[in-house]
Amino acid sequence: MASLSLRNVVKRYGHGPKANQVIHGVNAEIADGEFIVIVGPSGCGKSTLLRMVAGLEEISGGEIAIGSRVVNQLEPAERDIAMVFQNYALYPHMSVFDNMAYGLKIAKRPRDEIRARVDKAAKILELSHLLERKPRELSGGQRQRVAMGRAIVRQPQVFLFDEPLSNLDAKLRAQTRIEIQKLHRSLSITSLFVTHDQVEAMTLAQRMIVMNAGHMEQFGTPEEVYHTPASTFVASFIGSPPMNLLQHAPGVAPGQILGIRPEHLDVGPDGWDVAVDTVELLGAERLVYARLGDEPLIVRIEEGAPAPRSGERLRVRPRPDRLHAFDAASGKRIAAPAQP
């Protein structure tokens, strides 16, 4: 196991004035055994950053260090990492055992050691009864566990996960997230996990890197990112539904944007007067989609509270201690919150 350091990491394609820079100076110090999620929309550079750590993409600038070694010039096989891909990448003609053991056989490890490592990984992942099956005989979730098992037996210093749950249905994704959490608690291996799904990021990460157009917008715990977003981008990307961002609400200072999460708006006899567009029932809660003047506003109402109907008007009051302020020009967080 080892720490992982990203020091002003840059990636550009091409040379000279026409070069296309896609990663803009990412800095992150990741502790030994930490589980980090890199999250962002498609095209933000998160997979490119992961592939540079893996050695599958060249680094245009900066340094990547695994433990005390700068690995910029090392081949992937020399970096002591193991990668789990979105498409599983299993050998269809091999059994589960042989798929998990393949890397160790190539490395010419002793047969008894290979058997012991595979058996241990299979037990952790509840695959022991499937070791003789071929990948075609497995479900998608089982195939993904085999791919993780193949990484585990390598006993690497760093695990790299590239959107490993994207091919699973919602129920299997939830189950596999729990398995990954258990796996990390058991092994405590430094891990980088790439996803575009902010629910995966919030539930898996000890800390998360939020990427936007090749820039690291924020690096912090899920609680920090959710409760104190560093920018309007983070505020709108993290959270479902996203934070309300308002420029023309009562009392908002010129040049500022007021942020308030839907669950921090209280329905009552006074406050902002909003017009209800539609109401979404989500079991234990309702989402009210409304308008404050010309700006859209989402209000979360808990189960049991009376819900308005489309076309009605509603009074809502933001909780003063839950307000956020952002600079309208840069989108960056302002220390002092705006007051409506």
Q: 267 and 186, same structural domain?
A: no
Band (pLDDT 50/70/90 cuts) for residue 25 is: very high
Is 330 contained in some domain? yes
Give a yes or no: residue 152 inside a domain: yes
Specify whether 225 is located in the same domain as 281.
no
Rounded to whole angstroms, the Cα distance separating 275 from 116 reads 65
> How much is the average pLDDT of 73-91?
89
Look up the CATH number of the domain holding residue 141: 3.40.50.300
Please tell me whether residues 211 and 252 are part of one structural domain.
no
Amino acid at 156: P
Helical H runs in the chain?
A: 46-54, 96-106, 111-124, 140-152, 170-187, 198-204, 222-227, 232-237
Work out the pLDDT band at 37, boundaries 50, 70, 90: very high
Residue 297 lies in a domain: yes
| 162 and 306 assigned to the same domain | no
Q: What's the one-letter identity of residue 307?
A: A
- pLDDT reading at 279 higher than 70: yes
Q: DSSP per residue over 68-81, as a string?
A: TEE-TTS-GGGTTE
pLDDT of residue 239: 92
Asked if residue 10 has pLDDT above 60, the reply is yes
Q: Identify whether residues 210 and 281 lie together within a single domain.
A: no
Long-range CB contacts (within 8 A, 24+) of 166-169 = 166/86, 166/195, 167/86, 167/87, 167/88, 167/140, 168/140, 168/141, 168/144, 169/140
Task: Tell me: pLDDT of 340 over 60.
Answer: no
Give the strand pairing for 190-195 and 158-162: parallel
Domain identity same for 134 and 254? no
Average pLDDT across the chain, whole number: 92
* CA atoms of 215 and 212, how far apart (whole Å): 5
> Per the structure block, which two tokens stand in for 31?
């502790």
Same domain, 223 and 269: no
* 170, 202, 233 - which closes a domain: 233
Do 18 and 145 reside in the same domain of the chain? yes
**259 and 166 in one domain?**
no
Q: What is the mean pLDDT of residues 95-104?
A: 94
Which residue matches tokens 């023309």? Answer: 248
Tell whether 128 and 87 lie within a shared domain. Answer: yes
Distance CA 289, CA 278 (A): 5
CATH number at residue 276: 2.40.50.140
Report the pLDDT averaged over residues 170-192. 88
Is 238 inside any structural domain? no
Residue 321 lies in a domain: yes
Domain boundary among 183, 211, 233: 233
Into how many domains does the chain fold?
2
Whether 18 has a pLDDT exceeding 60, the answer reads yes
> Looking at residue 282, what is its pLDDT?
85
Evaluate whether residue 16 is within a structural domain: yes
Residues 217 and 260 in one domain: no
**Do the beta carbons of residue 50 and residue 23 sit within 8 Å?**
no
Q: Are residues 144 and 192 in the same domain?
A: yes
Output the pTM of the full model: 0.90
**Strands ordered across the beta sheet of 244-246:** 244-246, 256-260, 324-327, 333-334
Each residue of 47-81: pLDDT tens digit?
999 999 999 999 999 999 999 999 999 999 899 99
In a domain, 340, yes or no: no
Give me the residue label for tokens 């592939």.
51
Residue 272 lies in a domain: yes
Give the pLDDT score at 7: 97
Q: How far is CA 267 from the centre of its chain?
A: 32
pLDDT tens digit sequence for 210-237? 999 999 999 999 999 999 999 999 999 9
State the residue range of the domain holding 309.
244-334
